[in-house]
Structure 1
Amino acid sequence: MRIRSVALLSLSALLLAQLTPALAAPPPSEFGTDYDDPRTPAPAVAVPDTKHCQVEIVRHGFRNFDPYQSTYTPPTACQGPWSKVVLRMHGAVKGVQYDRLGHITIGGVGVFRTSTPEPSADGIAWDVEKDVTSYAPLLTKPQPVVMELGNVVNETYTGVLDITVTLDFYTTSRRVPAAKTANVVLPLQDQRREESDLIGTATLPRNTTRLVGEVYVTGSGGGCEEFWDTSAPAETGYSCPDGSPYREVDVSIDGKPAGIALPYPYIYTGGWSNPYSWRPSPAPRAFDIKPLAYDLTPFAGLLTDGKPHEFRVHVNGVPAGQSGWFTVPNLHVWTDAHRSQTRGALTSYAVAPLTKTDQVSTGSVSTKASRTLKISGYVDTSAGRIRTTVQRTLRNTSEHTWTEGETKDSLDANWRDTSIVTSGGKVELTDLDYGKKGLLTFLPNATVPGGYDVVTDLKIHDTIRTTHGLTKETYDGRASWIYNVPRDQRHATGTQTVRFQSLGANGCYDHTLQAVNGIYTKDLHRC
């Protein structure tokens, strides 16, 4: 892409094909000084009908790169255990500002990562919800809170990011039990970086029975690794010559590969050289950046000796000496309530090398890649010997072509990350299937000297299949604007359709939002 810097509470099934009357006014012919507050079609977090309490952990206007710090104190009126804990963020910004990336840690553990929308001159506000019940073990005692949301405010970039974040705690009842979570959630200690790797240690409880790692990871920072999925080898002449577009996030324990995963190709609200593509709705996952998950239980029995063990997060495919990847790992640990010491071993281990081909020529890169992992182990617990087998399969295909000068730049890429975990006779499937197909054109404007018409056509799909259900989120949009002119002469236009569908324990959910030139024109619920 040539211009890099421009960059559940389920609804009732009775709401069949309902069009919100408030959206009846015709949209403007092009973007003006304001657009609708950003929304996504995703459902609200499903919460129980029990007593709940709210604790505020962030209230701050971010204008620089200083982190905000506070102290979390558990709610005295809603003491645990809890049935649900929900993080809710409200943001507001006006003026001129780029999209920014934010992250929250509680007790050193990463619990939330987000990107912000680019504002209108008149100002926007938006809300994000995240189910953070899995972090409940952290929240039983006071903890330090840190939110980082680096921002620049000056005469040109005037937007201050006003952010409020709360935690809502939902109690239990006779009908609503406490949530089932890990017993301990740990950050890595003594963290250090070696190029794109993050290394740290963790000392696990001696009675560990299960271990799941998670990594919040994004290619970011405005450099080429923010657009890693369009990278190309230097010999192609492409403007981001960071080698093959394949990236993989690997976890090793004491030097032994233990987990593999594909990163998600996030698009922030200035991405694909067209901020108007993301007004008012962002790309899937942009407001709630999800961590990658790794079931490391086959190794658990080797880590219960009370000693620190080294964990390394490695981003495979990043050129030597290149930076631009953000990684925050956590460990979720389950323990044995009836035994002070557990032990175990690996019983089989097969981590295949990466299989990858890049067909490279001037103006094109065609990539196919795959990798597999299968690891088994056991832990001897008070309930007997628990055997766990983790299988993971990664697949990526990518077709990237461009014309001379990158006046036309197209991408058709797909990722598939499938995990099957068999433990204690139970099988858990997680199948991630996502991709993007788009074309960016950058051509001289016929009437404006020095101006360029930037046009983006893009489709995104994001499907998650699990043992318990399915979710699917899609984006389909087209936007255009004139580059290299004053803001009030951009004559930007854009249409977008975003849709979220799910089917599972909470029933059927299907929500579509359509917008024209920044104004929502359809809000449709089905099911």
Structure 2
Amino acid sequence: MPSIAPLAASAATAPGFTPGSPNVAVADPVVPRPPGRACVVPLFNGFQFTDFSNHPYTYAPPTGCGRAWSKVVLEADFNVTAGRQFDRTASFWLGGANIYFGTTQEPSATVAPSWHVERDVSDFASLLANPQTGQAILGNIVDGTYTGVISGSARLVFYPANVLAPKVDAPDAVYPLSDGTAGGPVALNTGTDTLSRTFTLPTNVERAYLDVFAQGQGGDEFWYSCVPNDFAGELQSCGGGSYRETQVSIDGQAAGVAPVYPWIFTGGIDPYMWRPTPGVQTLNFVPYRVDLTPFAALLNDGAPHTVAVTVTGANGYFSVTGNLFVYQDHGKKKLTGAVTTNTLQGQAPNATIGSTVTDVDGVVGGGVTTKASRTFRTAGYVDTSHGRITTDVSQTVTFANTQDFTIDATQYVQAIDQRTTVDSTTKTRQGPFGIGTTNTVAYDFPLTAKFAYTFDTDGNILTSPSQVTQGFTRHFTKKLGALTLYRSDVDNHISTSDTLAFTNNAVTGHSNQASTQQFRFSDNLGSCYGRDVVTTTGTLTSATDGAGCSGGRNRLLWFTHPDGSSDTSRTEDPGTW
């Protein structure tokens, strides 16, 4: 573990931020780095994205860096020229596997934003050990109307293992769920559309995890604001309802659930709200990890198996991809076992709808509530070279969305209060008398939004005030018997507001823009990170570090995941303790 410098006396201005700047400013931490030298492998430099063609690149493992890495980090830099341009979805692929997914910042007539993203890609070490082909996908239009040219560069940074930073316990193989060998997301337009891939896996799989991305696009970009079709006309809102949830299956058997995060793009609702600070994870999505280890015995039989993903409620459309990671038993070529429990099978993802909508003399009021909740358990075991390993996963996933409306000749107001939570407990036991480990994870995805329009007597729009509060929390605890081995807490929140002004139903200006993003991370090993980013009128007001940390100083141990992504390779892996 690297040495720790003395703590500062108080919270300090975050480095690299300039008050008064209109450039992108986020509170998110970068990926912590291990000690020692690093090797850098460029993936591509200066790609310009001006159309909808894919941009291929090639990759070769680093030279002079060995094949034992403590960490591998993807770094990418983007910029877009000043002008007019929509937000665009960006994704990077290597060997057909997704290594980055996010969206871009919108420019203005006078601001050419640039931004930097990072992702810990150590789980892809098996893929990175060999030469690969890849591609960057970032569809864009550049013409006389949409003039912003988006450019980007990306590289991989490898940290050789050393005595202070041992080799990462990475998965032995990764199997992409993408649109083909080169990689790409798959569009799921309805709740019955399926992304499925059939794999013949090794016969010695001990653990399996599926990382899932499900991004709302098109009619589903604002899925959290939609209402059931029966109310869509009266409430002047999108139809299809607000309930969205990703289902994972193996050979048609329900195997897991991934909640859908309500990412808001930088052009969403009111573009000025997201300048210069975009919404939670907007520029760099965090995948949701589904534990498929209870099904390892099924996957080990040497036969082809189909892993599939659907999005309940999809209504044109969701952009979806995933990566299946497997860990193998290096001491035994074929494992036997059984799936012993699966109460998720047969549980349909159904929502309950309630309504208080009224229409009195042309004044529409009231609201719509949508609720769903499921509790389930999956369990199984495999007999390995080091004994029988039993895995038992219990989860409760809840969804609640309440929307209130006020609609008359002078105003249209919609207020949204949505919350998705996950409470998950995974118990792992090795051998008949072994002390078991217990992982508990709690997620919370709160979203509140209020947007309105005011009208003159001719029905023309006058103003549109909007407010959004969005959050992501993840609380993780790992215990060995009653002893807490590791605990981490992530809390990422943003509150933002703005008011658009209209003339002849066209936006002519805005006022009262203000936002605050707060990011907090801590663990029981001494890591602490706090950053507050405050903006007004489209520029950075302040960025301060160290809030809530001892001495007002951020300190992140190199192996932590402060972004909230899952870490099965170290702190969450029972085999590493």
What's the TM-score, normalizing by structure 1?
A: 0.90
Match of residue 183 from structure 2: none
User: Which residue of the partner structure matches residue 419 of structure 1?
Assistant: 424
SS in structure 1 at match of 2:272: helix
Q: What is residue 281 of structure 1 aligned with on the other side? A: 277
- How many Å apart are 1:276 and its aligned residue? 0.6
Q: Cα distance, 1:20 vs. partner?
A: 6.3
The correspondence for 2:538, drawn from 494, 505, 518, is 518
Give the equivalent residue in structure 1 for 2:412: 407
The 5 Å alignment of 1:113-262 reads 113-122=101-110, 123-188=112-177, 195=190, 196-220=193-217, 222-223=218-219, 225-236=220-231, 237=233, 238-262=235-259
Bigger shift: 235-244 or 248-257?
235-244
Aligned-partner Cα distance in 1 for 2:307–2:63: 36
- Which of 318, 322, 325 pairs up with 1:329? 322
Alpha-carbon distance change, 379 to 205 in structure 1, aligned in 2, over 3 angstroms: same
Choose the corresponding residue for 1:398, options 398, 401, 408: 401
TM-score when normalising by structure 2: 0.83
Instruction: List per-residue Cα deviations over 1:276-332 (Å, max 9, x = no partner).
Output: 1101011111111111211111111111122211111011123xxx43111112110
Answer whether contact 1:445 1:482 (CA < 8 A) is retained.
no
Residue in 1 that maps onto 2:331: 338
SS at match of 2:61: coil
Tell me if 1:378 matches 2:381.
yes
What's the offset of the Cα at 1:275? 0.3
Question: In 1, Cα distance between the equivalents of 2:459 and 2:370?
Answer: 38
AA in 2 matched with 1:378: Y
Question: Match for residue 347 of structure 1?
Answer: 340
SS of equivalent to 2:396: strand
Residues 295, 11 of structure 1: alpha-carbon distance in 2 compared, 3 angstrom cutoff: farther
Superposed, 1:402-481 pairs within 5 Å as 402-404=405-407, 407-424=412-429, 425-444=436-455, 450-467=460-477, 468-481=487-500
| Distance change (3 Å), C-alpha of 1:52 and 1:513 | same
For 2:370, the equivalent position in structure 1 comes to: 367
CA distance in 1, matches of 2:29, 2:518: 11
Q: Provide closer, same or farther for how the CA distance between residues 241 and 360 of structure 1 changes in structure 2, counting only shifts above 3 A.
A: farther
- Does structure 2 retain, via aligned residues, the 8 Å contact 1:244–1:358? no
Secondary structure in 1 matching 2:316: coil
User: Shift of residue 379 of structure 1?
Assistant: 0.5
Uncovered stretches (5+) of structure 2, i.e. residues with no partner: 181-185, 358-364, 430-435, 478-486, 550-577
**Do 2:35 and 2:164's aligned partners in 1 also have CA atoms closer than 8 Å?**
no
Within 2, Cα distance between the matches of 1:10 and 1:462?
29
How far the C-alpha of 1:126 sits from its partner, in A, is: 0.7
Shift of 1:22: 9.8
Seen in structure 2, the aligned counterparts of structure 1 residues 112 and 239 have a Cα distance that, compared at 3 Å, is farther
Alignment match, 1:509 = 529
Q: After superposition, where does 1:11-90 map in structure 2 within 5 Å?
A: 13-14=7-8, 16-19=10-13, 36-59=22-45, 60-90=47-77
How far apart are the structure 2 equivalents of 1:308 and 1:12?
56
Percentage identity across paired residues of the two chains: 31
Determine if contact 2:14/2:544 at 8 Å carries over to the other structure.
yes
Task: Quote the RMSD (CA, aligned, Å).
Answer: 2.6
Pair 1:368–1:13, CA change in 2 (3 A)? farther
1:138 is paired with a residue of what secondary structure?
helix
User: Which residue identity does 2:331 align to in structure 1?
Assistant: H
Alpha carbons of structure 1 residues 313 and 12: separation in structure 2 relative to 1, 3 Å: farther
* TM-superposed deviation, 1:240: 4.0
The farther-off stretch of 14-23 and 231-240 is 14-23
Distance (Å, rounded) in 1 between the aligned partners of 2:60 and 2:236: 49
Number of equivalenced pairs: 505
Cα 1:495–1:379 shift into 2, 3 Å? same
